[in-house]
Amino acid sequence: MEQDDAKLQFDENGNLRHLLSLKGIDAILLTELLDDAEGYLTAPGALPARSQSLAGRTVGNLFFEPSTRTRASFDLAGRRLGADVLNLDVNTSSRKKGESILDTIYTLEAMQVDVMVVRDASDGVPAYIARNVKDHVSVLNAGESDVSHPTQGLLDLMTIRQHNPDFKNMTVAIVGDIQHSRVARSASEALQTMGIGELRLISPPALAPDAGRFPGARIVDNIADGLKDADVVMALRIQRERIGNLDGVPGIDEYFANYGVSYENMKFAKPDAIVMHPGPMNRGIEIEGALADGPRSVITRQVTNGVAVRMAVLDRIGRIMSTQ
Ligand code: NCD
């Protein structure tokens, strides 16, 4: 099933049409997307890069779950490529899976929306939509349950590559609620494709991933072991919205002491290690506020890179549209 989704992403000529998952995106395409994204970065304070590669196209943002960064950056990315952007306000509770989502999709298709950017709390929704849209429509996954968040994975990969492009000799440590994190899944898929030296996933046992979900990664429950000599440390929020029962999850003080990314715990990592977080942050729980605001933090750079990678993905999708 997931393998089919990976194939579904490409058209009959092997060009990227939908972005549903980073599975099936090889190192060459990952590198090209990151290189393209670098081209959209401009100096702080300068006017942002623009092009007209999506002029006349319409991007629809369909967020059935809350979002600040992802939604705003898809919105800006689309506009900076000359597209019209439609931000649909969707009331999560009123939508049921199945027919009603397809009704929304068919309605937008009838208005000639060309790219549907979808965030949803259920597994499989972006692929389901991709299987049901007309040939001219592309679907971009903007966060799918705990399964996948491919553009986040790309922006994380880009931010890590800016720090150090030598993935093969690098240790990346991801700390927090690994079990419920689509960010960890997509980052891990991208890093494995790039041949990451070592990937460590650190969490209390209650938030450790199910067996087999992160092939090739080392699962660790002790932060000193997990951060030892790491080049990159990524903190993750506890995804309370996906946790039915918090039994076994340490209370805030204990969590911060044992799993918080703090100045204290960063002593285990390499002296020049960077600190990442996808946002939204809970300061004082999974990350120390001063560290997040300090010189080792690349959290705002991740946000900037997020617009650039979304421009790169939209531009890539737009290339097949221009040949239709
Ligand atoms: C994340 C998400 O929604 O998956 N945020 C994001 O997209 N930047 C992480 C989170 O919600 O904790």
Q: Which atom of ligand 1 is nearest to the CA of 279?
A: 8
Does 126 score more than 70 pLDDT?
A: yes
Does 323 score more than 70 pLDDT?
A: no
pLDDT (tens digit, 9 = 90+) per residue, 3-19? Answer: 677 789 999 999 999 99
CA of 118 to the centre of ligand 1 (A): 14
How far apart (Å, rounded) are the C-alpha atoms in residues 124 and 121? 9
Question: In a 10 Å sphere around its CB, with 0-12 CB exposed, 13-18 middle and 19+ buried, how is residue 22 labelled?
Answer: buried
Do both 177 and 128 map to the same domain? no
Quickly state the pLDDT bin for 143 (edges 50, 70, 90): very high
Tokens of 221: 């429950």
CA of 186 to the centre of ligand 1 (A): 12
Does 68 score more than 80 pLDDT?
A: yes
Tokens of 188: 């891990």
Do both 137 and 276 map to the same domain? no
Give, for ligand 1, the residue of 146, 149, 207, 237 to mutate: max count of ligand atoms closer than 8 Å to Cβ.
149
Q: Which atom of ligand 1 is nearest to the CA of 119?
A: 3
Number of domains observed in the structure of the chain: 2
CA of 142 to the centre of ligand 1 (A): 9
pLDDT at 66: 87
3-class DSSP state for residue 60? strand
How far apart (Å, rounded) are the C-alpha atoms in residues 205 and 208? 5
pLDDT at 241: 87
Quickly state the pLDDT bin for 265 (edges 50, 70, 90): very high
* Protein residue whose Cα sits closest to atom 12 of ligand 1: 237
CA of 56 to the centre of ligand 1 (A): 30
CA of 280 to the centre of ligand 1 (A): 6
What angle (nearest 5°) sits at the alpha carbon of residue 220, between those of residues 218 and 225?
105
Q: Which atom of ligand 1 is nearest to the CA of 66?
A: 3
Q: Which atom of ligand 1 is nearest to the CA of 69?
A: 8
> What average pLDDT does this structure show over 155-175?
98
Does 1 score more than 70 pLDDT?
A: no
Does 67 score more than 60 pLDDT?
A: yes
CA of 279 to the centre of ligand 1 (A): 6
pLDDT at 35: 98
Do both 315 and 226 map to the same domain? no
CA of 231 to the centre of ligand 1 (A): 22
Mean predicted lDDT score pLDDT of the chain: 94
Secondary structure percentages of the chain, helix, strand, coil, to 5: 40, 15, 45
- For the chain, the distance separating the N- and C-terminal CA atoms, rounded to the nearest angstrom, is 28
> What average pLDDT does this structure show over 235-257?
90
Instruction: Show the domain range for 18.
Output: 3-145+303-322
pLDDT at 252: 93
Tokens of 240: 């309370």
| Beta bridge partner(s), residue 154 | none
Pocket of ligand 1 (CB under 6 A): 69-70, 143, 149, 152, 182-183, 237, 239, 278-279
3-class DSSP state for residue 206? helix
Do both 74 and 162 map to the same domain? no
> What average pLDDT does this structure show over 290-312?
98
Please count the other Cβ atoms lying within 10 Å of the Cβ belonging to residue 257.
Answer: 13
Quickly state the pLDDT bin for 88 (edges 50, 70, 90): confident
Does 90 score more than 80 pLDDT?
A: no
Quickly state the pLDDT bin for 240 (edges 50, 70, 90): confident
* Protein residue whose Cα sits closest to atom 7 of ligand 1: 70
Does 254 score more than 60 pLDDT?
A: yes
How far apart (Å, rounded) are the C-alpha atoms in residues 39 and 99? 41
CATH number where 188 lies:
3.40.50.1370
pLDDT at 93: 41
pLDDT (tens digit, 9 = 90+) per residue, 30-47? Answer: 999 999 999 999 998 899
Do both 162 and 292 map to the same domain? yes
Do both 98 and 162 map to the same domain? no
